[in-house]
Structure formats: C-alpha cells, structure tokens
Amino acid sequence: MGELPDKRTAFIEWYLEVIEAAQLTDKRYPVKGMNVWTPYGFRARRCLDAVLIREIEATGSEAVEFPALIPSTEFAKEAEHIQGFNAQVYWVTKGGLAELDVPLVLRPTSETAMYPIFSLWVRSHRDLPLNVYQIVNTFRYETKTTRPFLRVREIHFFEEHTCQVNEDAATARVASNLDAFAKMAAALDLPYLPVRRPEWDKFAGAFYSIALDIPVGEGRTLQIGSIHHYRENFSRPYGIQYEASDGSTHFAHQTTFGLSERLLGAVVAVHGDAKGVVFPSAIAPHQIVIVPIPAAAGTADPGAMAEGIASRLRQGGRRVHVDATDARPGAKYYFWELRGAPLRLEIGRREAEQGTVSATDRLGRKSTFPLEHVEVEVDRRLADFDRALMEQATERFRASFAYADSLAELAGSTQIRVVRWCGGEPCGRKIEEAIDGSVLGIPEGPLPLEPRAPGPCIACASIEGGAWALASRPL
C-alpha cells in the first residue's frame, strides 16, 4: 500500500482507503451497501457493543430481542412512520415456493415489531417504566451513496424502546439517555453535540428528536445517534395503555434511543490520521501490541519475554496481541499504526537483558520502563493516551464551529455555522439553501463558542423568540 490520501483535503477518499487498509471491513460482498465484518473489524465492534451495553444497563435497561420480520399489517399502523420508511424497506414476499399471504417487512427499526407485544406487557402502572433495548441488524434500502459504517443497507443497530407513565417521565428518560450517551462518548474520546432537530427533520412519528452530531471537517457533520420522544404517537395506534393506581386508564408515553456502527465510523473519522486508524483504548481490538525483536543466538529470548508479558497483562482483562510473525520490526510498527493499536511495546535484546520495556503510543510518544511494573506502567500510558486523544479531538471540535451573521457568509462554509434563527420553517429553508446543507437544529446545552448576545434572525431579521441554531453540510 502506498501513502493514504490527505485526510484534510480528501476526507472521503482517506476514509474509504484507511478502513480497508486497516482491515476493518471487506466491501467486496456482492450486495451493494452490505459489507463483511472481518475478524479485526468484528473485534472492534464487540468492544464498542460492550461499552453501549455497560452504560445502558447501568440505567436499568434490559436486553431483549424481537424478530427481524414484521407483518405488513403491523408495520402500517402508524401513518407518519410508514410514510417515513416506505421507500426504504426490504419486502419478504415469498416463503419457500409460495407467495406469503401477508408480506413481511425486514425491520428498518423495531417500533412496529415491539409495540404490539408491549401492549401485552404493559397492563398496570406497576409494569412501568418498561426500559428495554436490543442490539440487532436492521435493513434499509438506502438510495444515497453507501459507505462502510457510515451509510449501509444492513446496519448494526442499538435501539432502546421505553414506556413511561406520562410526558414528564418520558422527558426524564430522554435526559437519562443523554447522560448515558455522554459516558459512551467519553469512552470513545468523542466530543459531540446533542441537537434538537427542526420539525421537518424529526424521526417519522416522533414528537421531537434529539440528534447526536459530530463535526467531521470542512463544515461537514455526521449524525451518530438519536433520542426520540414519541408522546402517545405510537401507544395510541398500538394500544399500549395501563391502569393507574386510581383505576383510570392512560396511554403510555414512549421514547427511543438509537445508535449504530456509525459510532465506529466516527471513531475512525475523528481520530484517524496520516498513518491510519487510531483506536481509543476502550474499543481497540488490541490495546497493546507487543513486538519481540529477534535476538542474536545465545542471548536472552525476546520472544519468550513478549509472551510472558502478554500473559501477565491479559490477567487484568487487557487485550494484548503478540506479533510474532517473521516480518521486519519496522513493517510491524507501520502495520499496527495503520490498524490503530493504542500502545506498542518493543522487546529487543537490550530490553530482555536489562529487564526493561520500550513503549510507543499511537500518538508517537516514546518511553521506557522497568518490566517489573509493566501492569501499572501500561495502564498509566493507556490512560494518558486516551486523555491526549480526547484533548486533541476537543481542540479540533471547538475549531469546527463559527458564528455567521448573514446568509452570504454561509456559502461554501468550511465550518459548522452558528446562526440566529427565528424558528420558522421558511427561514430555516433559506438557511439550508444558503449553506447548501441542513439546519441541524437547536443545541441542547451550551455552544462550543464564546457566548454572544442575541441578535436578529439571520434570514428574516425578526428579533423575537429566536435561538442559536446550527447549520452544516451533513455527510
């Protein structure tokens, strides 16, 4: 492989080449937008899932799994929802040699699979809240250009679905999901912004949608997840109601929280560099790669020493790989930089004889320490590495935003623009036209910029009831 394309000037080319060179995916599978999870990519995915599972289960959500096939009759029950997904679903029309009486939809998302059953599970206020999630694959007949992890037709999907006693409880669940996501993002060293989408861009059937957006350079953004408040929009057509302690019956208020393999694409997009992928230690397939450097005969054996260190490190649950192939050390360094291993340990004759270890982290910082304290020294370096990765990402994140005071400033913007917006759709559409992109919506929480005094709407110059909105070109 030659040099990678320049990430800053040719992001997509860089991205496509780096994920393939690092062997995270094989996109030669003969169905467009459906890719193979290779052994290395699957390891990263498993670690990513472990982070999601840990944080969502800490909030009391329980894992379930619903079938992948949904009867078209159930799918059709919520009008906005089916309208939103109709052009995107795969239809199973034949089973064995015969046409099916009721065609089945391959789930694009699971509201319509789960909610008929929720109506059986939820009877009394004592059954609430119902907080369940599943990690499954979903299917969307995507018409836009597909890109591994970022836009695919078979999506590795995390979806939480909840039922709450009323609107306030559902609003509180949204807040709890935002907290859980903050912890997930921290584990991935990913700065992001939660943004409440404008009406015309919310999820099909939602009351409101909060998207989780990250900048990916050049004024572009990537939506890496979303949290939706449904109010009673689904509980009514699916009949999810409960009896309160006073005997009255009510429809549940519902929320959902969705994430996908895009998170893995985001990790590559945000942290990757000219040398390849950079994995935060939480999801690195191998957190530590040990390279033994062949020694002259008769001296201490770096290979055996490498194995000994690996086995000590594995005891604490660390993911360690010993690269004992017969490639040259330089080629191994290059290979593991490309694949994003956070920490590399080198064991040569000198190290073997002196009882020391040489370490280089994926940000290029070198050090040496006594073998005796390998566990604590490795843990300290991994923590340092994650801290530095987060700092670097945060600095770039902040530099991605800029205020704009006129529609003219939006044209060809290479930053995410923060604009004053009255909230009306006509003005929103003018802003979208000016930036040749989208109004992401209103951020939940503080902006990553110095605060400014309110001004007039950038489109209509109205000065009442406006808010700071974000506009960008979504990837």
Tell me which residues touch its own copies (CB under 8 A): 26, 28-31, 34-39, 42-43, 45-46, 62-71, 73-74, 86-97, 104, 106, 113, 116-117, 120, 132, 137, 139, 141, 143, 154
- Residue 224's nearest CA partner among 193, 256, 180, 183 is 193
Q: Measured from the CB of residue 307, what is the shortest distance to its own copies in angstroms? A: 16
356-361, strands of its sheet edge to edge = 320-322, 288-292, 343-347, 356-361, 366-370
Q: Measured from the CB of residue 87, what is the shortest distance to its own copies in angstroms? A: 5
* Residue that has been written with the tokens 């044209």 in this structure: 411
3-class secondary structure, 416 = strand
Q: Which is nearer to its own copies, 147 or 417 (CB)?
A: 147
Omega of the bond leading into 294 within 30 degrees of 0 (cis) = no
Q: Measured from the CB of residue 345, what is the shortest distance to its own copies in angstroms? A: 23
Q: Measured from the CB of residue 474, what is the shortest distance to its own copies in angstroms? A: 21
Q: Which is nearer to its own copies, 5 or 239 (CB)?
A: 239
Q: Measured from the CB of residue 392, what is the shortest distance to its own copies in angstroms? A: 31
Backbone angles phi, psi at 452, to 5 degrees: -130, 155
Q: Which is nearer to its own copies, 117 or 460 (CB)?
A: 117
399-417 CB burial, b ≥16 within 10 A, e <16: ebbebbeebebbeebebbb
Q: Which is nearer to its own copies, 45 or 231 (CB)?
A: 45
Residue 242's beta-bridge partner residues?
250
- HSE-CB for 49 with a 13 A CA cutoff: 16
Q: Measured from the CB of residue 115, what is the shortest distance to its own copies in angstroms? A: 11
Tokens representing residue 383 in the block? 């923590």
- CA-to-CA distance for 202 and 80, rounded, in angstroms? 11
Q: Which is nearer to its own copies, 88 or 171 (CB)?
A: 88
Q: Which is nearer to its own copies, 254 or 360 (CB)?
A: 254
Q: Measured from the CB of residue 404, what is the shortest distance to its own copies in angstroms? A: 37
- CA-to-CA distance for 334 and 380, rounded, in angstroms? 24
Backbone angles phi, psi at 69, to 5 degrees: -105, 135
Please give the DSSP secondary-structure letter assigned to residue 124: B
Q: Measured from the CB of residue 65, what is the shortest distance to its own copies in angstroms? A: 4
Q: Measured from the CB of residue 136, what is the shortest distance to its own copies in angstroms? A: 8
Residue type, 206: A
- CA-to-CA distance for 57 and 71, rounded, in angstroms? 30
**Tally of CB atoms within 10 A around 61:** 23
Q: Which is nearer to its own copies, 87 or 297 (CB)?
A: 87
Q: Which is nearer to its own copies, 69 or 467 (CB)?
A: 69
- CA-to-CA distance for 359 and 348, rounded, in angstroms? 12
Q: Which is nearer to its own copies, 113 or 309 (CB)?
A: 113
